[in-house]
Amino acid sequence: MLTDKLKQVIRQAYKTIGENLSNFNPRKQQTFLIAEIAKTLAGEYSKDRKIITIEAGTGTGKSLAYSLGAIPLALARDKKVCISTATVALQEQLVDKDLPFLKKHAGLKFDFALAKGRQRYVCRQKLTQAVSHNADSPQVGFTFAEKPKASDIRTLNAMHKALTDGSWLGDIDSWKTQLPHHIWSQVQSDKHSCLKGLSEHSHCPFHKARETMEQAHVLVVNHSLLLADLELGGGRILSAPDETYYIIDEAHHLPKVTRDHSSASITLRGAIDWLTKLRDTGDKMAKLIKSQRAISPALKLGDDCQDLLMEMQKVLTFVDNNACVYFSENQDSNTFNKAFKSNNKNDDQVYRFDNGIIPKTLKNWAEDIHELSKKSLSHLNKLYSALIESVKDGDTQMYLAEPVLGEAGFMLQRLENLTALWKMYAKTDSEKAAPMARWLQKQNPSKGNARQDYLICASPIEVGFTLEDKLWSQCEGAVLCSATLLALNSFDHFRFQAGLKNNDDSQYQQVTSPFDYQNNAQLVVAKMSNEPSAAEFTDELIEKLPKYLAQGNASLVLFSSYWQMEKVAQALRDQHKLDIVIQGEHSRQHIIESHKKRCDADKESIIFGTQSFSEGLDLPGNYLTNLIITKLPFSVPTSPVEQAQAEYVSAKGGNPFMTLSVPDTSKKLVQACGRLLRNELDEGVITLMDKRVVTKRYGKQILDSLPPFKRIIEK
């Protein structure tokens, strides 16, 4: 229950914030959200399921709402708040603006920290090794595959100096310039080569950042880091789930990030190559450990490695022998593969197994390989721990152990991935749930690699059960929110993707935007002769766009393909001398800045962009008054996972188009339309140049799920 005292703290905080914010209007949607979030997390609706899913329209001020709904309660109950976002833009807004403001003005005593993945921190150890040198060997410990350039060495020296004198904290984001990937990848912190146990490593930037995190009451993370923590069982990187209120902002991205985290792939020849060296790594470790207890795991690793190699070789021969069947278009009987191929320029490169079912022989090998890689992983882990102990005890010299530990670290990483992949191939799919998507991808010989190789991949199709298992059922409480969670005016689609249910005591709220859509914005459905699939559609866009561009001074035109955007832009530049800024021709930041400058100077400005410009682009006020959407953002299922998902829906008697594509398109269109009005006083026009919203049955559903703009259907 929320105590009166706590309610008073929240009310007082909201009041003080209002007094310190210019142009603050207390909004009833916002106060409603604060109350609902606080009540849910306090267990007023359910003691066991403190979860609320909220679609909060643009302008509701959801970050303030969830902060005030969760932080005072967490402070009172000695819990942590973990805010997870999908985009860096939102993380920056929270850490640089919203949370500092709240801390300063809400009368709440709390600390917050941005938690970043390990790979965003430099490894002090590797950096020191990279800049070490002596007369005989100018780059001792330097691990570049090719001789580094003088400028690379200068950069590394500058990094080392800044880290040592304390002027740099050691994270890539706070380095003054953009660090080239080939430099960063050599010195970034990674789990497997980390020698944390050694006393010399107490000044490690990554571990210092983790200590700061532990002190913080509120952590800001991204979905990927959240998933990484949950994968380790929760509470390893972030606070423990049962001690944490999770706020999942931009929650519509969570299912996809979860799926990406749950997938795995390996290259067959590539894996055989490193497995050939694994036995050697084990022997080197055993020699350094110099103790009897290293002998057994080293011998076992050698034996299991040998068996693993034999099994992997069988798989390679099998795929090689069947390559003409798997990768030839003519031999393909699978309808979904056919559809996939016709839409993909790498059409003969991918073979997806129908319904995830793999040949029996492959499954048998998968079971054996999974077992053997699990055993090898265990032996290597034993050797790794023994070597660390041996260094700590002073039996092995550190300078000898370090390169071997680094090598073993990479092997551990690869073995973990190998085990994960073959586990998914060995698994027998349950008849009650969606099968795994399993596919092969041909990798043609390239300049750097003259051999034909194959990528073996697997991914779950549905991840709702993973989220339920690792997060919802474990956490103290959770708030899932976004401006676009409903699809076709229902939570069903999201609920299913995220593993939530209708009747499990989870709460659902839809809070509409305070914007006056009827009076401030018009939605025009343009009179078009052609549907987007018609060959003449692009020419019709070229012909009609100038009229719609004339509707406003600040225009954003969204396309669903690059080629169409470029073709239309070229024609309009040539025929109408229009000054158009096109996505891809400059960086996103440059496009936005130059657009704003032109708007500030009262000049016409037109941006052409694709799907990625329909989300997260913030052009308030006069920076956007004319939004044109050329085509409904349907995406054709081109990836093997999407194909497998569509196939599964069909197998269950469903219609993949209505079940997957239409709800997905509806959400994307709401996102795209959300670019127009960013503040309560903003005004403008949205023109939709896809007549299917009025000619097709599903079109009405899509139109009805948009905010209540004033509609004009051109006849």
Q: 345 in helix, strand or coil?
A: coil
Q: Of how many residues is the chain composed?
A: 715
Q: Is the CB of 285 or the CB of 569 nearer to ligand SF4?
A: 285
For 237-294, where are the alpha helices, taking DSSP H only?
254-262, 268-289
- Best CA proximity match to 226, nearest among 200, 203, 266, 260: 260
In the complex, minimum distance from the CB of residue 290 to ligand SF4, in angstroms, rounded to a whole number:
23
Q: Which is closer to ligand SF4, CB of 9 or CB of 228?
A: 228
* Cβ proximity to ligand SF4, 194 vs 524, nearer residue: 194
Beta carbon of residue 127, minimum distance to ligand SF4 (angstroms, whole number)? 8
Tokens at residue 369, please? 């390989």
125 vs 645 by CB, closer to ligand SF4: 125
Beta bridge partners of 456: 266, 440
CB of 189 to ligand SF4, least distance (A): 4
How would you class 328 by CB atoms within 10 Å of its CB: exposed for 0-12, middle for 13-18, buried for 19 or more? exposed
Q: Answer whether 387's CB lies under 8 Å from 404's CB.
A: yes
Closer to ligand SF4 by Cβ: residue 196 or 597:
196
| Identity of the residue, 204 or 581, whose beta carbon is nearer to ligand SF4 in the bound complex | 204
In the complex, least distance from residue 560 CB atom to ligand SF4, rounded to whole angstroms: 43
Crossing angle of helices 124-131 and 150-164, in 10° steps, is: 130
Least distance between ligand SF4 and beta carbon 225 (Å): 16
The dihedral through the CA atoms of 466, 472, 473, 474 has a sign that is positive
Label residue 138 exposed, middle or buried (CB < 10 Å: 0-12, 13-18, 19+): exposed
State in angstroms the smallest separation of the CB of 164 from ligand SF4.
13
Residues 688, 523 contacting (CB under 8 angstroms)? yes
In the complex, the smallest distance separating the C-beta of residue 24 from ligand SF4, rounded to whole angstroms, is 45
| C-beta of 164 vs 490, nearer to ligand SF4 | 164
Closest by CA to 269, choosing from 317, 237, 227, is 317
Query: Going edge to edge, which strands form the sheet with 477-482?
Result: 112-114, 218-222, 80-85, 244-248, 477-482, 51-56, 507-511
Distance CA 622, CA 317 (A): 63
For ligand SF4, give the closer residue by CB, 18 or 197. 197
Residue 235 CB, nearest approach to ligand SF4 (Å) = 20
Give 196 or 277: the residue with its C-beta nearer to ligand SF4.
Answer: 196
Contacts of 448 (CB under 8 A, 6+ apart): none
**Nearest partner of 305 among 404, 423, 411, 458, judged by Cα:** 411
Least CB distance from residue 128 to ligand SF4, whole Å?
8
Q: In terms of DSSP H, where are the helices of 132-222?
A: 150-164, 181-187, 205-215
Q: CB of 191: closest distance to ligand SF4 in angstroms?
A: 9
Burial 256-274 (b: 16+ CB within 10 A, else e): ebbbebbbbebbbbbbbeb
Q: Are 2 and 50 in contact (CB under 8 A)?
A: no
376 vs 297: CA distance, rounded Å:
9
Query: Shortest distance, CB of residue 237 to ligand SF4, whole angstroms?
Result: 14
State how far the Cα of 344 lies from the Cα of 350, in Å rounded to an integer. 10
CB atoms within 10 A of CB 41: 28
Residue 129 or 376: which CB sits closer to ligand SF4?
129
Give 123 or 475: the residue with its C-beta nearer to ligand SF4. 123
Residue nearest to ligand SF4 (CB): 204
DSSP letters spanning 111-147: -EEE---GGGBB-HHHHHHHH---SS-TTTT---SSP
> For residues 111 and 200, which CB has a smaller minimum distance to ligand SF4 in the complex?
200
Cβ distance to ligand SF4 smaller for residue 201 or 544: 201
Give the C-alpha distances (Å, rounded to integers) separating 132 from 129, 140, 170, 187.
5, 6, 18, 13
Q: Which is nearer to ligand SF4, 101 or 144 (CB)?
A: 144
CB 35 within 8 A of CB 2: no
Reference 79, options 207, 209, 219; nearest CA is 219
Q: Which is closer to ligand SF4, CB of 400 or CB of 420?
A: 400
- Residues of this chain that bind ligand SF4 (CB under 6 A): 123-125, 189, 194-196, 201, 204, 206-207
Distance, CA of 712 to chain centre: 37
Q: Which CB atom, from 120 or from 379, has the smaller least distance to ligand SF4?
A: 120
CB of 661 to ligand SF4, least distance (A): 45
Closest CB 129 distance from ligand SF4, rounded Å = 10
Q: Least distance from C-beta 227 to ligand SF4, angstroms?
A: 21
Rounded to the nearest whole angstrom, what is the least distance from the CB of residue 163 to ligand SF4 in the complex? Answer: 10
Q: Nearer to ligand SF4 by C-beta: 403 or 616?
A: 403
Q: Burial code of 547-567, b = ≥16 C-beta within 10 A, e = fewer?
A: ebbebbbbbbbbbbeeebbbb
Q: What are phi and psi of 501, to 5 degrees?
A: -125, 170
The token duo for 480 is 């899932």
Task: Provide the minimum distance between the beta carbon of 121 and ligand SF4 in the complex, in angstroms, as a whole number.
Answer: 7
Q: Specify the DSSP element, H or E, that contains 634.
A: none
Using CA atoms, how far apart are residues 249 and 91, in angstroms rounded to an integer?
A: 10
* CA within 13 Å, CB half, 391: 21
Q: Output the six-digit token pair for 198.
A: 């050694």
Nearest distance from residue 174's CB to ligand SF4, in Å? Answer: 17
